[in-house]
Amino acid sequence: MKIYKFGGTSVGSPDRFRALIPIINDGELKIVVLSAMAGTTNELVEISGLFSSGDRAGAENLTQRLRLKYHTVAGELFSDINWSARAHELIDEQFDFIVSLFSRDFSMHNEKRIVARGELISTALLHLLLAEKGIKSMLVPALRFMRIDKDGEPDYFYIRENLKRELAAVTDEKIIITQGFICRNVNGETDNLRRGGSDYSATIIGAALGSGEVQEIQIWTDISGLHNNDPRYVDNTVVVRSLSFNEAAELAYFGAIFFFFFFINPARMKNIPVRLRNTMEPEDEGTLISSASSLVDYKAVAAKDGVIAIRIRSGRMLMAYGFMRRIFEAFEAYKTPIDLITTSEVSVSLIIEDATHLDDILKALNAIGQVEVERDQTIICVVGDFRPDRVGSAPEIFEALNDIPVKMISYGGSENSVSILVNACDKVKALRELNKNLFPEKQ
């Protein structure tokens, strides 16, 4: 079977809902994981925010506004009055439930229950819509199988056993619908897998069932997979057809992929391919992320803005040991990840993204050596084949950057990527020049 996950915009309007039907109704057995309609989770978070601050009237107002919005969607979505009546009824049930919570005390659990409504409604609407069209589907509530343990990690044993029990009830249905994002916690209460977590639901389900059962996990959005460069700044970009999990991990950090890489880790663990597809162009095969990606010289170029470069110089580093440890400790003490690092005999340059504790970190570093800071820097990352025995890629990259000050280079840390630090003002030029040099056949 396959797992198809659709995000909030893919169920963002009646038209988008209807557009899912031909995609999922192709006769193949699949689990369809849905997000809430776009914007809904934010509004539910806002509602529980008002509730927690004691503004029950405000919370109720917003709830009624959202209820109306859903009634409008349901009014347009169904052509048959009997089915739309059922949709209106289920919408009212869900919103009545939210309102009923306002007469109780606010608690984290109540917040989680409110925030879960978006996925509960979107899945119920799709289920009804398919039924109206005479297409059989089964709705399997995620709260019957999706569970996290005391550390907030997926409880795979529980998930597998309970999901198998639910799936054993499938007869001739080919479309099994479930909610993304929501789960139960170790106490059995309604909880969620954190914001954006519907992708995570899809890969957790895949990993729980295993590669023997799940051939592919498809993440459907509004763009055709991953481009080999940033289409906002560079013409003639093309979709990258295949990526390894490692390459995807590098690109996800650079924001070139629209989810946290963390979310596809369960698929990588169980070696299940993940395909990124576009609901607006369903015939496009998208980008396949798997362990069997083809090795080509260059796959993609991506940039990350707003990073901070810190250089620490020490007269005493020459032949010294323990210098690096002291530097790393300064970052560790403030739980700040270091994203990139290069060293010489007497100095260390590194990059961080999170400036929350920058002042404290700089104070600690000042006790170790002489420190310089540069903000508003950009890391450019070239993803491709950089295995140690490969020749020729350094000149191709640096020739492209001939007129651009290169401030830091990280080569050799990864077989999949090279990272280069430039001033933010040189970013677009760097992306364009690299595109010309590294993908000349696509110009």
Angle, helices 117-132/81-101, rounded to nearest 10 degrees: 170
Q: Does residue 266 touch Mg ion according to CB under 5 A?
A: no
Q: Which pair of tokens denotes residue 23?
A: 């995609």
Partner that binds at residue 180, options ligand ASP, Mg ion, none, CB closer than 5 to 8 Å by kind: ligand ASP
Kind and range of the H or E element at 227?
none
Query: Closer to ligand ASP at the Cβ: 219 or 361?
Result: 219
| Type of residue numbered 71 | H
Q: Does residue 12 touch Mg ion according to CB under 5 A?
A: no
- Note whether 431 and 361 are within 8 A (CB): no
In whole angstroms, the minimum distance from the beta carbon of 41 to ligand ASP comes to 3
In whole angstroms, the minimum distance from the beta carbon of 429 to ligand ASP comes to 35
Partner that binds at residue 253, options Mg ion, ligand ASP, none, CB closer than 5 to 8 Å by kind: none
**Four-residue CA torsion sign, 250, 256, 260, 262:** negative
> Residue 306 — φ and ψ, nearest 5°?
70, 25
Among 350, 341, 348, 439, residue whose Cα is nearest residue 397: 439
Query: Closer to Mg ion at the Cβ: 193 or 309?
Result: 193
- Note whether 176 and 137 are within 8 A (CB): yes
* 6, 7, 137, 208: which one binds Mg ion (CB under 5 A): 7
Query: Closer to Mg ion at the Cβ: 279 or 377?
Result: 279
Query: Closer to ligand ASP at the Cβ: 36 or 129?
Result: 36
Among 272, 159, 291, residue whose Cα is nearest residue 218: 272
In whole angstroms, the minimum distance from the beta carbon of 259 to Mg ion comes to 6
Region 167-196 residues binding Mg ion, contact defined as CB under 5 A: 196
Contact range with Mg ion by CB under 5 A, out of 3-11, 152-160, 326-334, 339-347: 3-11
Query: Closer to Mg ion at the Cβ: 7 or 369?
Result: 7
Specify the DSSP class assigned to residue 340.
E
Q: Is 405 helix (H, G, I), strand (E, B) or coil?
A: coil
| Type of residue numbered 240 | V
Total residues contacting Mg ion by CB under 5 A comes to 2
Residues that bind ligand ASP (CB under 6 A): 7-8, 35-36, 41, 118, 180-181, 195-198
In whole angstroms, the minimum distance from the beta carbon of 119 to Mg ion comes to 12
Query: Closer to Mg ion at the Cβ: 183 or 382?
Result: 183
- Note whether 305 and 378 are within 8 A (CB): yes
Q: How far apart are CA 60 and CA 78, in angstroms?
A: 27
In whole angstroms, the minimum distance from the beta carbon of 4 to Mg ion comes to 14
Contact residues for Mg ion, defined by CB under 5 A: 7, 196
